[in-house]
Structure formats: structure tokens, C-alpha cells
């Protein structure tokens, strides 16, 4: 088959860096963008700022009505969503339903069921020193929010945060990815059918659009993408002190310990790794496994891949259940990782075939990875699983801790002591024991990263909370002990302060 590799890695998303003028001020117009489009964005933003003040008064009933309409809209356009994902990724209908439509519907339904309770003020304890007062936490909308969606799950990772933003009572501007044009265009069409632009608007385009949008003083920015671009987003947001949610990625490890069921582990790991052709932020980026278990794992992996996609390269490339790399640039990046690792001495245990004409990379497993290989430095974001061996569990833990904190960590073992040891000795956005990725399906768990893998979390109530400001409200009663400590500080006031400090504080 035709092959093509690359020598240069490219980021998942481009965004112009910040540039200051001679006074150290960030200028408003710093990118080359059509003046009419820029004017449109500014006008819509202005309209949304006004609308956001109105939405602060929206009721539970009004917000639920919008969420129900959004859910119905997804069902209505389900065939077109499938077609768009097929055009952008060659993604199967079932995988689209499983990874894009189902979780989006689930987010809508969860918000519809629970929004009444989420919006209620929450009583908070009041210390005895404030006797007479009542304390509450009120969830108020942040205001006008910007959502920058990625290309790897272009439908779900646009709609899931939109659900949280609408549930919390915000206006939204969405910037979908230019790398998935069919899905982005459909997303714009769908949202325009349901919402006026002063409430929800979509602006398509490349990195110049993202740059122009992040130059506006949004109340919150929600970004999903690479760590490098996340740093730029955070920097750009800082000029307006805009709060941010960063859903990033990193090198998420899978650890198999002695005594684990290798067959079950291989089945789960390869499903999670090759879902969406590895273009998943929580896909296992590498596997840590005892030296004695490598041959057994590879044998089970070959059987699993044959079951999933077929035994020959031609079977895999023609399989309707295995999608493609999103574009030529990312194909070149990932195939370049394979080529460079092999040149340096890595062994291809499975796969390795590529076809540039289709942006196809076969499910691939590599062993004997040189430490200086680029594949062990960058997030792979493709269907390639490097195997790293270890002699004892401490060695595996040290390897994980030698890298930035990952978005997810997966542990395969029957030993509870080993589970606890790994969890207490490492840090990650989330963790799953004896399975992969399924923690995303539980809306009662927060989903997000830590440090390099992200800031903030969402899904379910945590999404509502992410797009809300937790406002502290204290209601003072006519009888207040604290008023007895007002000036002038006579002997009674001094004694009360002394007693409070010693016994009540």
C-alpha cells in the first residue's frame, strides 16, 4: 500500500500568540481577519452581553424548555450527524451514535431531570460568632461564554458544554473546529434553527477567528484541545481576567500488574485505544506492563484486533468500524512517530501499515521503545500503542510521575493493595480500574484534568457549576451578636472579643 510519513510534528489547533504594543497593552485587532466578519462577531457579542442580563432572570421552566428542544433537535438531525461524521472521519454510524450522539443526549436528559435542584440556593453552615445570620450559596450565570470545540469529537464536545452553559442561564458563542468542516457546518445550522444569535451563535473559521474571539471580554471561556493551545487561551483570557475551563489531554497511562487478566485487559485497552482511531483525549497513550507479560499481551492483542477490524491490512482499511485520521497533517505527524521510533530501534508487534491516500494508519502496537523517541514525548492522538516494560510496580509509578499529570490513568489488576498504591502515588484527572474511558459516561463524576491536562471539570451538575458563579449570600437578622462588638471598644466589647477568640472562633 502507498505510504507516507512526516518529519515534522504539528499541533492539533493553531492560535496566534499574544503580541503587545510599545505600551505593553494588548491591541484589539491583532489578526488578519475579514473586517465584516470581525464586525459581525463584535455585534453579536454586544447583543449577547445585553441578553445575558435578561437571562439572569430566566426560570427553571424556561431553561428546561430549551434543553428539551435541544434534545429533540439532536434526534431530528441524527441521520445528518452520522453523515457529517462519516464525511469528516469515515466514522461508522454505530460509533457516532455511541461516542457523539448518546453522550450528548445523556447530558440533556441529566440536566432536564435535575436542573430544578441545581438552581436552588444551597444552605451553608453559619458559625456561632455570626449568631442570627443565615448563609446560602446561590448559583448565578457567568454571563456571556465562549466555547471553543475540538475536532476529535466535534459534535459531542461542542454540545456537551453548550448544555451546561444553557442550563446555567448563559449566552453562548461557539467556535467549532475548521478541521471537521461537515460537522461544524451542521452544528451551525442546527443551533441557528433553535436559538436567536443573541442567545447562541456559531462562528466558523480558522485560528484567526479563535484569536479574534478570545480578544473579546467574555465572562468565561471553555476550551477543549491541546495543552500548548490551552496555555495560549489562558494567557489571552488573563488580559480581561476572564475565567477559563481548559479540557486538555496528555499522555494517559494504562498499567497492567502481575496477576491481572491479560485477555480482558487487552480487550478493554485496545477498544479504548482504537476508538476514533486513537483520536481521543482519554485514550491510553502508552502501556506499562511487567516484562514477563508482554508476549501474552501481544498475542491477545492480535486476537482482539482481528475480532474488531479483521486480520489483514486490507480488512482494516476497508472496515466500516475503524475511522480515519482527521487530515493529512495529523496523518503525517502520527505516521512520523512510527517511522522515527522504528528507525531508533522500536519493534512493530502489530500493524504499522499506513495509506496516505486515505489518511489510514492501521491499529499499531510498538515495543522496545527507545527513551528518546518522540512518540514518548508528545501526546500521540492516533492508533499507536507503545509498550513500556517494568520490573516492579515502583518503577512503573516512577515512570508515570516523571511526566506531566495525565488526564486519565487506567489500572488493570485484581490486587486492591496495588490499586490503592498506584492511586495514592500518582495524580491524574480521572482514573478507571479494570476498564477504559467509561468514567466519562457517569454524569455524577466530574470530568477534567489537573495542571497540564486541564483546569476545571464538567458533565452533569459539574457542567452547570462550571458555567455558574457560586455567589455567597449572608442574611443578617435583627438580632446580631457581632453588633455588640462595634466601636467604641468598651470593656464589654473587649470581653466579648476575648471570649469569642478563646472559645467560639
In the predicted structure, residue 18 carries a pLDDT above the cut 60: no
Distance linking the first and last C-alpha atoms of the chain: 75
In the numeric block, which cell numbers belong to residue 180? 471537521
How big is the CA angle at 112 (ends 74 and 143), to the nearest 5 degrees? Answer: 90
Q: Of the candidates 177, 102, 190, 104, which has an alpha carbon nearest to the alpha carbon of residue 459?
A: 104
For 445, the 3-state DSSP assignment is: coil
Residue 290, φ and ψ in degrees, nearest 5 = -60, 145
With 70 as the cut, is the pLDDT of residue 3 above it? no
Same fold, 58-248+460-466 and 253-448: no
pLDDT at residue 32, as a whole number = 64
Residue 15 has pLDDT above 50, yes or no: no
Q: Which residues contact 433 (CB under 8 A, 6 or more apart)?
A: 410, 411, 412, 413, 419
Question: Residue 17: which region, alpha, beta or left (left: phi > 0; alpha: psi -120 to 50)?
Answer: beta
CATH of region 58-248+460-466, choose from 3.30.420.240, 1.20.1250.20, 3.40.605.10, 3.30.365.10: 3.40.605.10
Give the residue-averaged pLDDT of 212-227. Answer: 96
Mean of the per-residue pLDDT values for the chain?
Answer: 91
Quote the pTM value: 0.90
User: What are the residue ranges spanned by the domains of the chain?
Assistant: 58-248+460-466, 253-448
> Which residues share a beta bridge with 411?
255, 433
% residues pLDDT > 90 (the chain): 83
Q: Which residues neighbour 484 within 8 Å (Cβ) at sequence distance 6 or greater? A: 492, 493, 496
What backbone phi and psi angles, to 5 degrees, belong to 365? -125, 130
Nearby residues of 336 by Cβ (< 8 Å), 6 or more positions away:
5, 6, 7, 8, 9, 374
Contact 361, 352 (CB under 8 A): no
Catalytic annotation, residues: 247, 281
Rg of the Cα atoms in the chain: 26
Q: What is the pLDDT of residues 315-333, one digit of tens each?
A: 778 888 999 999 999 999 9
Distance CA 101, CA 148 (A): 19
Q: Alpha helices of 344-486 — where are they, by DSSP H?
A: 393-401, 416-425, 461-466
Ramachandran assignment for 438, one of left (phi > 0), alpha (psi -120 to 50 degrees), beta (any other): alpha
369-426 pLDDT tens trace: 998 899 999 999 999 999 999 999 999 999 999 999 999 999 999 999 999 999 999 9
Under the banding of pLDDT at 50, 70 and 90, the label for residue 29 is very low
* Chain Cα centroid distance, residue 194: 25
What cell was used for 121? 440556593
Out of 114-118, 131-135, 264-268, 409-413, least confident range? 131-135
Residue 394 has a CB neighbour count (10 Å cut-off) of 11
Measuring CA to CA, which residue among 370, 362, 386, 373 is closest to residue 297? 386
For 253-448, CATH number out of 3.40.630.30, 3.20.20.10, 3.40.309.10, 3.40.50.150 equals 3.40.309.10
- Length of the chain in terms of residues written: 505
Amino acid at each position: 500500500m502507498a505510504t507516507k510519513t512526516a518529519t515534522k510534528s504539528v499541533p492539533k489547533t493553531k492560535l496566534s500568540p499574544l503580541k503587545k504594543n510599545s505600551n505593553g497593552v494588548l491591541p484589539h485587532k491583532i489578526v488578519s481577519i475579514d473586517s465584516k466578519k470581525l464586525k459581525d462577531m463584535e455585534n453579536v457579542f454586544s447583543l449577547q452581553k445585553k441578553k445575558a442580563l435578561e437571562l439572569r432572570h430566566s426560570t427553571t421552566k424556561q431553561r428546561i424548555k430549551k434543553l428539551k428542544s435541544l434534545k429533540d433537535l439532536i434526534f431530528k438531525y441524527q441521520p445528518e450527524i452520522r453523515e457529517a461524521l462519516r464525511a469528516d472521519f469515515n466514522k461508522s454510524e454505530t460509533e457516532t451514535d455511541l461516542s457523539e450522539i448518546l453522550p450528548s443526549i445523556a447530558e440533556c436528559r441529566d440536566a432536564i431531570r435535575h436542573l430544578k435542584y441545581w438552581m436552588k440556593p444551597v444552605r451553608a453552615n453559619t458559625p456561632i460568632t455570626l449568631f442570627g445570620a443565615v448563609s446560602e450559596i446561590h448559583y448565578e450565570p457567568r454571563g456571556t461564554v465562549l466555547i471553543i470545540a475540538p475536532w476529535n469529537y466535534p459534535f459531542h464536545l461542542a454540545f456537551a458544554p453548550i448544555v451546561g452553559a444553557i442550563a446555567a442561564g448563559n449566552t453562548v458563542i461557539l467556535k467549532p473546529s475548521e478541521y471537521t468542516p461537515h460537522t461544524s457546518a451542521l452544528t451551525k445550522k442546527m443551533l441557528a434553527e433553535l436559538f436567536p444569535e443573541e442567545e447562541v451563535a456559531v462562528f466558523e473559521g480558522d485560528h484567526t477567528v479563535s484569536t479574534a474571539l478570545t480578544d473579546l471580554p467574555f465572562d468565561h471561556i471553555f476550551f477543549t484541545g491541546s495543552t500548548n493551545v490551552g496555555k495560549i487561551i489562558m494567557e489571552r483570557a488573563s488580559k480581561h481576567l476572564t475565567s477559563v475551563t481548559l479540557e486538555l489531554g496528555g499522555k494517559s497511562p494504562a498499567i497492567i500488574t502481575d496477576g491481572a487478566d491479560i485477555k480482558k485487559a487487552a480487550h478493554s485497552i485496545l477498544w479504548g485505544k482504537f476508538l476514533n482511531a486513537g483520536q481521543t483525549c482519554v485514550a491510553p497513550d502508552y502501556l506499562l506492563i511487567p516484562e514477563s507479560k508482554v508476549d501474552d499481551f501481544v498475542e491477545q492483542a492480535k486476537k482482539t484486533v482481528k475480532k474488531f477490524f479483521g486480520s489483514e491490512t486490507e480488512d482494516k482499511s476497508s472496515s466500516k468500524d475503524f475511522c480515519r485520521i482527521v487530515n493529512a497533517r495529523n496523518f503525517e505527524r502520527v505516521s512520523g512517530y512510527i517511522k522515527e521510533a522504528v528507525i531508533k530501534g522500536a519493534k512493530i508487534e502489530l500493524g504499522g501499515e499506513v495509506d496516505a491516500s486515505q489518511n489510514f494508519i492501521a491499529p499499531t502496537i510498538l515495543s522496545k521503545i527507545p527513551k528518546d523517541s518522540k512518540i514518548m514525548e508528545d501526546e500521540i492522538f492516533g492508533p499507536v500503542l507503545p509498550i513500556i516494560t517494568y520490573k516492579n510496580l515502583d518503577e512503573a509509578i516512577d515512570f508515570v510521575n516523571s511526566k506531566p499529570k495525565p488526564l486519565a490513568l487506567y489500572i488493570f489488576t485484581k490486587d486492591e493493595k496495588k490499586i490503592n498504591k498506584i492511586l495514592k502515588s500518582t495524580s491524574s484527572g480521572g482514573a478507571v480500574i479494570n476498564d477504559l474511558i467509561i468514567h466519562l459516561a457517569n454524569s455524577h463524576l466530574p470530568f477534567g484534568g489537573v495542571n497540564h491536562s486541564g483546569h476545571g471539570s464538567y458533565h452533569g451538575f459539574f457542567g452547570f457549576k462550571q458555567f455558574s458563579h457560586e455567589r455567597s449570600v449572608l442574611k443578617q437578622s435583627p438580632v446580631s451578636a457581632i453588633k455588640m462588638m462595634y466601636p467604641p471598644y468598651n470593656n464589654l466589647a473587649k470581653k466579648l472579643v476575648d471570649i469569642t477568640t478563646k472559645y467560639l472562633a
